Amino acid sequence: MLLPNKVTPFKKSILAKFALLLKEIKVQDISAIELFEKVKPKIGGIADYLEILDCLFALRKIELSEKMEVLHYVG
pLDDT in tens, the chain (75 residues): 788 899 989 988 899 999 999 999 999 999 999 999 999 999 989 999 999 999 999 999 999 988 888 999 997
- pTM score: 0.86
Sequence-separated (6 or more) residues with CB below 8 Å from residue 68: 29
Closest CA to 22 of 56, 64, 65, 69: 56
